Amino acid sequence: MKRERSRKLYQQACEVIPGGVSSPVRAFKGVGGDPLFLQRAEGPFVHDADHNRYIDYVGSWGPLILGHAPESVIAAIEKTARDGTSFGAATHKEVSLAQKVTECVPSVEKVRFVNSGTEATMSALRLARGFTGRDRLIKFSGCYHGHADAFLSDAGSGVATLGIPGSAGVPAGAAQDTITLPYNDLESVEATLQTIGDTVAAIIIEPVACNMGMVLPQEGFLPGLRKLCDQHGALLIFDEVITGFRLGLGGAQCHFDIKPDLTTFGKIIGGGLPVGAYGGRADIMDTIAPTGPVYQAGTLSGNPLAMAAGLATLEELSAPDFYPSLEKKASSFAAGINEALEARNDPAYLNRIGSIFYLWFKPGQTTPPMNYEDIKTANSERFATYFSSLLNQGVWIAPSAFEVGFVSSAHTQSLLDATVTAIGKALDAAAGV
Ligand code: PMP
């Protein structure tokens, strides 16, 4: 496959954009080679600057559950754009989207729109601190909650791919109130809260961890966190930037039947436009300005284009058959991958929930990963060969051994079958490494 134009664009980009990319996960640091420059996309496909076509399992890192450029979403964006792209004032569309979110997610009584997942999580943390009058935060290693200072300790895939522990430029003071504990280890949370429970504002968690490959919560872990938060007066924040509207209209919290106090959203909620949101119990949410003393604001927040794209997307997701049909596709895809793995003596382990999947390059592994320490034992060299083979066969996955993939409603059965065949070949190529 020729990638001359991508290569040239990368050279030009490196002169004017640090590392040639607008977000580090787009660089090919974990797999070698130059990043792809993408030009256009439709349905399940992306096309690069050299006009190569790939079946896409990145889906813009999660938002594109309907695939690329779905008719209804594009029509809504076009129509809305003709009426003006931004007002910095209240609009009908944000009320409609807020109503839809509160209907779908029972723990969310009120919601505030922002422009990214990072903004959602950093605002939710400030709100939790303002509401409880406490400073400390418990997070879990390998979980990513955006790039705000307080969250950048053991922050999962992006930093793991680059092989750096956290980030320069985070003052000690900004991170000193963050306590990082192992995922799925309820005892360590209990022990921590027993000593300093009255200083902890919140526990934040990805209810399914999707930024350290994929780690599922063990039975009892999420209910245990709920109970401990209630005992110690801390708020439970579910970061559903990935799982929100991905695992069903009610996200992971409905899937596992746990009610967090606050939830953060991003990605799907904006239908592929820049958006984020945080919401939860009305008494907590009313602590935000202008009703309360916690300040958070945004010129483009509730932007009409993003609201229109989000509304059109959630409309499609509300069709009764949407999630069952996506699950059917994803489970038959997973069955195909598992057959390919078994036929080759399990060179990797497939973890999946709904339409999110992760191939953990851990030969001979027959049980799922429990935490970040487990995940880090993945064989990144083998992954790099697997990645290149898939790319050369026209399959686009995230360029990191620590990222998940997404099936969208635009993937047809024949494309999924073709992908399974390509995965078999890529596994064979990686076996020699
Ligand atoms: N939380 C989670 C769980 C995420 O996966 C991400 C981004 N992948 C974020 C927060 C940050 O979102 P954004 O990149 O939109 O700032």
The ranges assigned to domains in the chain are: 4-69+320-430, 71-317
| Ligand 1 atom with minimal separation from the 240 CA | 3
Residue 333 in tokens: 């895809």
Residue 160's pLDDT is 62
| Ligand 1 atom with minimal separation from the 61 CA | 8
**Best residue among 61, 116, 141, 144 to mutate for probing ligand 1, ranked by most atoms within 8 Å of CB:** 144
Measured CA to CA, the distance from residue 424 to residue 48 in angstroms comes to 24
Of 332, 319, 431, residue with least CA distance to 381: 431
Residues with CB under 6 Å of ligand 1 are 61, 116-118, 121, 144-146, 206, 211, 239, 241-242, 266, 276
∠395-401-404 over CA atoms, to 5°? 65
* Ligand 1 center to 414 CA (angstroms): 31
* Ligand 1 center to 280 CA (angstroms): 18
Measured CA to CA, the distance from residue 25 to residue 394 in angstroms comes to 20
Residue 173's pLDDT is 84
∠113-118-121 over CA atoms, to 5°? 70
Of 118, 208, 204, 203, residue with least CA distance to 158: 118
Burial (0-12, 13-18, 19+ Cβ within 10 Å), 346: middle
- Looking at the annotation, which residues are catalytic? 144, 239, 267
| Ligand 1 atom with minimal separation from the 274 CA | 15
Q: How far is CA 44 from the centre of its chain?
A: 19
**Best residue among 25, 113, 208, 241 to mutate for probing ligand 1, ranked by most atoms within 8 Å of CB:** 241
Whole-number CA gyration radius for the chain: 21
Domain 4-69+320-430 in CATH 3.30.1330.10: no
The CA-based dihedral angle spanning residues 331, 337, 338, 342, taken in that order and rounded to the nearest 10 degrees:
160
Residue 163's pLDDT is 58
**Best residue among 119, 147, 242 to mutate for probing ligand 1, ranked by most atoms within 8 Å of CB:** 242
Residue 293's pLDDT is 98
* Ligand 1 center to 240 CA (angstroms): 9
Residues 31-62 as b/e (b if ≥16 CB within 10 A, e otherwise) read bebbbbbbeebebbbbbbbbebebbbbbbebb
Tell me which CATH code domain 71-317 carries: 3.40.640.10
User: Ligand 1, atom 12: nearest CA belongs to which residue?
Assistant: 117
Residue 153's pLDDT is 73
* Ligand 1 center to 266 CA (angstroms): 7
| Ligand 1 atom with minimal separation from the 23 CA | 14
pLDDT in single tens digits along all 433 residues of the chain = 899 999 999 999 999 999 999 999 999 988 998 999 999 999 999 999 999 999 999 999 999 999 999 999 999 999 999 999 999 999 999 999 999 999 999 999 999 999 999 999 999 999 999 999 999 999 999 999 999 999 987 776 666 666 555 788 888 888 889 999 999 999 999 999 999 999 999 999 999 999 999 999 999 999 999 999 999 999 999 999 999 999 999 999 999 999 999 999 999 999 999 999 999 999 999 999 999 999 999 999 999 999 999 999 999 999 999 999 999 999 999 999 999 999 999 999 999 999 999 999 999 999 999 999 999 999 889 999 999 999 999 999 999 999 999 999 999 999 999 999 999 999 999 997 7
Residue 165's pLDDT is 56
pTM, whole model, 2 decimals?
A: 0.97
Measured CA to CA, the distance from residue 155 to residue 144 in angstroms comes to 5
The CA-based dihedral angle spanning residues 31, 33, 37, 41, taken in that order and rounded to the nearest 10 degrees:
-50
